[in-house]
Amino acid sequence: MSTNLKFTTRKWAIPFVLIGMLSILIGCRGDRQSDAKSISEMAANEDVARYLEAFKGLGALTDSSRATPPEDALKNFHFPEDLALDLVLSEPQITQPVELSFDHRGRLWVVQYHQYPYPNGVKIVSVDNYLRVQFDKLPAAPPQGARGADKITFFEDTDGDGVFDRSTDAITGLNIATSVVTGRGRIWVLNPPYLLAYPDKNGDGIPDAEPEVKLQGFGLEDTHAVANSLRWGPDGWLYGAQGSTTTANVSSSVSKNVAFQGQVIWRYHPDTEVFEVFAEGGGNTFNIEFDSKGRIFSGNNAYDRGPNFKQGGFYPRSLGKHGPYMNPYTFGNLPNMALQGDKSRFTHSLIRYEGGELPTAYEGKLIAVNPLLNYVQLTRIEPDGSSLKNIDEKRIIETEDHWFRPVNIIAGPDGAVYMADWYDSRLSHVDPRDTWDKGSGRIYRLRAKADSGAHHPSFDLSNYTNDQLIELLKSPNKWFRQQALLQFANHRDQRAVQQLLPLLRQEADGQTALEALWAINLCGGFDEKTALEALNHTDPYVRLWAIRLLGDAGKVNPTLSAKLIGLSAAEPHAEVRSQLAATAKRLPARDAMPIVKNLLTHYDDSKDPDIPMQIWWAIESKAETDRELVLSLFKDPAVWKQTTTQEFILSRLSQRYAMAGGAANYAAIVRQMELSPNKAFTRLLVSGLKEGLRGSDVVGLSPELAQALRPYQAEFFGGPLALSLKQGDPQAVKQALAIIADEQADADHRLTYVQILGETDQPSSIPVLLSLIENGRVSNALKQAAIVALRRYDQPDIGVRVLKAYPGFRADAGLRTAAIDMASSRVVWTRELFRLIEQDKRISPTDILDQQARRFQLLNDPEITAATHRIWPNVKPLDTDEKQARMSRYARLIQSGKGDEAKGRMLFAIHCGICHRLFEEGGITAPDLTGYERSNLNTFLLNVVDPNAEIREGYTIQQITTQDGRMLEGRIVAQEGDVTTLQPLTGRQISISAKQIKEMKALPLSVMPERILDPLNDQEVRDLFAYIMKKNK
């Protein structure tokens, strides 16, 4: 429906009088939960209901503060003298805005996310410790499914005075809708699990009919991380994002079952209907921004401004929480853009301002919103090899109003910057209760103060001629250039190509040439001749995009292949070389491998943040499908000499083949070794192969590979029998056991063989290993290795004998820890340990640290848990009342007196800094606290008193139950091939293959224990928090 809101008001102002009248008409806001379902209504069973009701919310939760009335909102803001801030929309006109976009008529589209956090018409059947849920059924697509509360509204300024005076609800009843764009005669809506296309031939913003489902399969496990952020790329693809804590299995009419986990940038072509993942990894991605060169950015829910996404790239992610990459052989990732400056969490949405209307000090820079800390950041961009780096300059919007939650930012046709403000005291998703303020929401406009207030006259770009659209390609405002490209895509008028070619061919204005190339492609005119002209262009970004468009086709003819190969040998620009590597990954091997060879041999990009790994991924993509062409690279001695080859390619390729296994891949490793110029290079190959064999069964190694490796057994595998022992050769096992038992044998070989016996299944080794532990003359290092090796064997007597020997070696910390860790890995061994503690009194409970004692509870045995709490009462989890009482007491204590920051710094180093980092000091095994909201005492106290309430991604503890009955805990540090590598809380990494894993689950348990403040007196608590809560340097 359409509502006319005509009134007289000053320019650039919201109609406050009207808002006041409407507020009176609709009444006071009332209870936040009046429109929300209770947990009991959403839960499908009692277990889910109990878990959700008991879940303690964490972070910026609903509080008792009051919203600032819209008419007073601007009084709370601080911004530079050369800028002005306008409140252009607020409640009740809009509520809970999650995304903004402008269309071809300059209308402002707003997605109002009222249905969040749960879809209508479904119930929760299960939930995990991250609050990821499973529903009893999949919501049907509109109009068949249950109607939700989400709606999409567009606003118009009908008289050009800068005020949006008409609103139209274009689409209502949506059920978890996150994004909308218009184009190609449709209104495109992301309503996970669907991408919907509503026909709108005349572009009036009102659907002509029910939607068509173009994509389905996006996950709904976490509605603050679902598919989002539709954007038209300059290449004609429709791009989108998905956040970190959902999964997907997406299909279109052409692409079927594209499965992935966690955060990605994806894209869909409206003509071919192809769906693909563009890049993987990043933060909880909820934003996409294209700059004037076609680069893709997104913010980050961590400490920086996120990645500069490259095609086919893999970016950082928490493997334990977010799952593995689609490609199990990535062997690394590209870094986010380096940041110098304010590393406060979090700036998840940003733009690169290229609108031409703000003062020049803002042009070309990132403007990023921080909803957690209620400010807007200005960040400079500088080149960093083939990528970019960021330097923070200043905060350009700040406020004392903690309800200010800017969640989305875009540039408008007027050159101003628009921000969607969720406006709520609550921001945290870490609370299953729907306590969101359903009646608030605001949209701000940031503009140049010197602006006269004159608004752009009304326009409808869909009616523009080709000549007019071509003129828009020269606009200083990126928004108009991007919209002109969309119109070329809509019209697909071949006649425009001849008008655009002169713009491409001119060399003086590279940006206009690039816009012309994009437009030519969108008009269907990107043929061989045009591609060759673009590849010869003096502007690097024209060359880059010609390369990318060719790669998108997946194949090139011989002429274009030759041109790409030639360019790869003489390209001076690092970003273009980066795209050549990305395109090589997409092309057939016969075209790709010569490009890769040139990139390796004609440049030293070994220090570039992106190119070396991109070259690796190009090679890896052909490793098995085109082995001979891949191996032919290494027939050229020049390839071996390159630093990139030595540091990024050789070991990874042999690791890749070793992990994949099979006769053909083992033969490829042998061939690599034969081609190796000398032993130094062969060592790199063998090093990679050894890494590839970690945690895997090597019994099936081919005789040829085993023979090729024999000269390197001692050097790389620890002894002349090592490889044969790994393969389970009976004669090697017999010889190795004899050497282990021989006190005069080489100590290093004995140690290696013991470690191998702990990785392979050789029960015949048990007597020898136990004898080492019971022999007083054996070194502590060998004893410790024997204890670790014995963990894999499920025999009660092992625990009895090791623990019987325990008093004799307890003085050594390493042995003591190894024995306790072994005992805690199996129920039967733990019972024996507890018997020796409580009944025989042979082992003192003080030998076992609280951190170790906590592990006994993970065995899920009621008797063991009760005994643990009896022997070590400090490890018994605090109940909710105890936690609340502690939080209240510490809050009163901290606020009742002054702390000493200098003393607090010393206390932090002792009690926290072993794991946590703050102000560039401390450890790295727990989250860096510098960017956290440390000024909020209640929130930070909750993290300290109840560290299990929220566990940051990357620090989740996984519990693996092995097929042989062991219980292992630790952080996942790698998932490559079918091998998972775990970093236990103590000891060295453990690599374990999928076939050895019976069950793996994330534990709702932080490495940080409860009661961490107990050793401190009252003044020390004040000192510690004085240091923790001080402002960033």
Q: What is the model's pLDDT at position 318?
A: 80
Stretch 74-92: mean pLDDT, rounded?
96
Q: Which residues contact 498 (CB under 8 A, 6 or more apart)?
A: none
In a domain, 142, yes or no: yes
Residues 257 and 384 in one domain: yes
Tokens of 483: 């919209």
Q: Is residue 303 part of a domain?
A: yes
Is the per-residue pLDDT at 953 higher than 70?
Answer: no
291-348: pLDDT as tens digits: 999 999 998 888 889 999 999 999 998 876 778 899 999 999 999 999 998 888 889 9
Find out whether 1006 and 948 touch, Cβ atoms under 8 Å: yes
Q: Any idea what the CATH number is for the domain that residue 585 is in?
A: 1.25.10
Strand 338-340 versus strand 387-399 pairing type? parallel
Neighbours of 703 (CB within 10 A): 8
* Statement: residue 656 has pLDDT above 50: yes
Q: Which of 44-53, 365-374, 630-639 has the lowest mean pLDDT?
A: 44-53
980 pLDDT more than 90: no
Cβ contact 181:230 at 8 Å: yes
Integer angstrom CA distances of residue 545 from 268, 423, 485, 539: 18, 40, 15, 10
Identity of residue 420 = A
Please say if the pLDDT value at position 427 is more than 60: yes
Cα dihedral across residues 339, 342, 348, 354: positive or negative: negative
Q: Does the pLDDT at position 285 exceed 50?
A: yes
Instruction: Give the up-direction half-sphere exposure of residue 747: CA atoms within 13 A in the CB hemisphere.
Output: 7
Whether residue 493 has pLDDT greater than 50: yes
Which among 958, 987, 988, 983 is positioned nearest to 817, based on CA atoms?
A: 987
In this model, does residue 399 exceed pLDDT 60? yes
Q: How far apart are CA 719 and CA 753, in angstroms?
A: 8
CA dihedral 608, 610, 615, 621 (to 10 degrees): 170
| 31 class by beta-carbon count within 10 Å (0-12 exposed, 13-18 middle, 19+ buried) | exposed
Across 821-833, b (16+ Cβ under 10 Å) vs e yields bbbbbbbebbbbb
b/e code 329-367 from CB counts within 10 Å (16+ = b): bbbebbbbbebebbbbbbbbbbbbbbbebbeeebeebbb
End-to-end CA separation in angstroms for the chain:
52
Residues 917, 866 within the same domain:
no
408 and 440 assigned to the same domain? yes
pTM: 0.85
Instruction: Indicate whether 748 belongs to any domain.
Output: no
Task: Give the integer Cα–Cα distance in Å for 649 and 638.
Answer: 14
CATH of residue 893's domain is 2.30.30.100
Cα three-residue angle 23-27-33, rounded to 5 degrees: 110
Residue 812 identity: D
Between CA 676 and CA 15 the distance in angstroms is 75
Polymer length in residues for the chain = 1033
CA-CA distance, 322 to 333, in Å (whole number)? Answer: 15
Are residue 440 and residue 552 in the same domain, yes or no? Answer: no
Mean per-residue pLDDT, 633-642: 97
Of 875, 901, 928, the position where a domain reaches its end is 875
Q: What is the pLDDT of residue 1031?
A: 77
Count of CB atoms situated within 10 Å of the CB of 60: 23
Same domain, 229 and 349: yes
The label of the residue with tokens 């800094």 reads 913
Same domain, 832 and 944: no
Rounded to whole angstroms, what are the CA distances from 502 to 487, 708, 837, 903? 19, 61, 87, 70
Let me know whether 442 and 538 are in one domain: no
CA angle 938, 243, 477 (to 5 degrees): 100
Residue 661 lies in a domain: yes
Which residues, listed in sequence order, are joined to residue 241 by a DSSP beta bridge? 228, 265
Mean pLDDT score, 614-618: 99
- Alpha helix positions (H), 199-332: 319-322
* Of the candidates 290, 298, 311, the residue with the CA atom closest to the CA atom of residue 234: 290
State yes or no: pLDDT of 22 exceeds 60: no
782 φ, ψ to 5°? -70, -40
| Nearest one of 261, 237, 249, 136 to 192, comparing CA atoms | 249
Within a domain: residue 454?
no
> Which of 875, 899, 914 is at the close of a domain?
875
Provide the pLDDT confidence category of residue 21 given band limits of 50, 70 and 90: very low
Asked if 888 and 821 sit in the same domain, the reply is no
Beta strand pairing status for 275-280 and 264-268? antiparallel
pLDDT averaged over every residue in the chain: 91
Structure tokens at 725: 């022992």
888 vs 942: CA distance, rounded Å: 10
* pLDDT given at position 693: 84
pLDDT digits (tens, 9 = 90+) for 340-398: 988 888 899 999 999 999 999 999 999 999 999 999 999 999 999 999 999 999 999 99
The reported pLDDT for the residue numbered 31 is 45
Helix axes 510-522, 495-505, angle to 10 degrees: 160
The rounded distance, in Å, linking the Cα atoms of 252 and 149 is 27
Query: What pLDDT, in 10s, does the model give residues 664-685?
Result: 999 999 999 999 999 999 999 9
Round to whole Å and give the CA distance between 363 and 347: 19
Going by C-alpha positions, the residue among 704, 705, 724, 727 that lies closest to residue 714 is 724
Quick one: 791 and 911 in the same domain? no
Q: Is residue 88 part of a domain?
A: yes
List, as one string, the DSSP characters of 76-140: GEE--TTEEEEEEEETTT--SEEEEEE-TT-PEEEEE-TTTTS-TT--EEEE-TT--EEESSPPP
DSSP element (H, E) containing 435: none
Q: Name the helix (H) or strand (E) containing 767.
A: helix 766-774
Residue range of the domain that includes 138: 2-448
Over residues 710-720, the mean pLDDT reads 82
Residues 769 and 678 in one domain: no
Is residue 733 assigned to a domain? no
CA–CA separation, 521 and 120 (whole Å): 42
The answer to whether residues 703 and 817 belong to one domain is no
Identify the pLDDT of residue 697.
66
- Which one-letter amino acid corresponds to residue 510? G
Q: CA torsion angle for 894, 881, 127, 129 (degrees, to 10)?
A: 40
Q: How far apart are CA 236 and CA 294, in angstroms?
A: 12
β 258-261/77-78 pair status: unpaired
594-to-82, 371, 532, 585 alpha-carbon distances in Å: 53, 48, 18, 12
Neighbours of 210 (CB within 10 A): 12
- What token pair was written down for 737? 């056991």
The last residue of a domain, from among 659, 693, 716:
716
Nearest to 228 by CA among 184, 173, 283: 283
- CATH assignment at residue 164: 2.120.10.30
Residue with tokens 């390729």: 653
Rounded to an integer, what distance in angstroms lies between the CA atom of residue 77 and that of residue 376? 11
Q: Is 944 among the domain residues? A: yes
Are the C-beta atoms of residues 162 and 177 closer than 8 Å to each other?
Answer: no
Least Cα distance to 181 among 445, 512, 490 occurs for 490
Report the domain count for the chain: 4
Looking at residue 1010, its pLDDT comes to 87
Residues 6+ apart with CB under 8 A from 1023: 899, 900, 901, 903, 904, 907
What's the pLDDT at 10?
29
CA distance 117 to 422: 14
For the cut 50, the answer to whether the pLDDT of residue 7 exceeds it is: no
Q: Which two tokens stand for residue 796?
A: 């009660």
Residue 372 and residue 322 share a domain: yes
CB neighbour list of residue 642: distance below 8 Å, 6 or more residues apart: 600, 601, 604, 606
- Among the residue ranges 50-59, 359-368, 594-603, the one predicted with the least confidence is 50-59
The helix or strand, by DSSP H or E, that contains position 46, with its residue range, turns out to be: helix 46-54
Q: Give me the pLDDT at residue 942, please.
A: 81
Question: What is the tens place of the pLDDT at every residue in 814-847?
Answer: 999 999 999 999 999 999 999 999 999 999 999 9
- Coil, helix or strand at residue 905: helix
Q: How many Å apart are CA 1001 and CA 970, to the nearest integer?
A: 11
Q: If pLDDT is split at 50, 70 and 90, which confidence band does 24 have?
A: very low
* Nearest by Cα to 955 from 979, 985, 978, 932: 985
| 681 DSSP assignment | H
Predicted local distance difference test score (pLDDT) of residue 986: 65
Binning pLDDT at 50, 70 and 90, where does residue 19 land? very low
The predicted structure's pLDDT at residue 9? 28
Residue that has been written with the tokens 């998932």 in this structure? 975
Residue 987: how many CB atoms within 10 A of its CB?
A: 14
What pLDDT, on the 0 to 100 scale, is given for residue 236?
A: 98
How far CA 640 is from CA of 613, 665, 667, in Å, comes to 16, 20, 19
Q: Is the peptide bond before 594 cis (omega within 30 degrees of 0)?
A: no
pLDDT at 454: 57
Residue 714: pLDDT band (50, 70, 90) is confident
Please name which of 35, 104, 974, 930 lies closest in space to residue 483, comparing C-alpha atoms. Answer: 104
- pLDDT tens, position by position, 780-814: 999 999 999 999 899 999 999 999 999 999 899 89
Handedness of CA 265, 240, 372, 12 (dihedral sign): positive
Show the DSSP H helices in 862-923 as ranges: 862-871, 880-895, 901-911
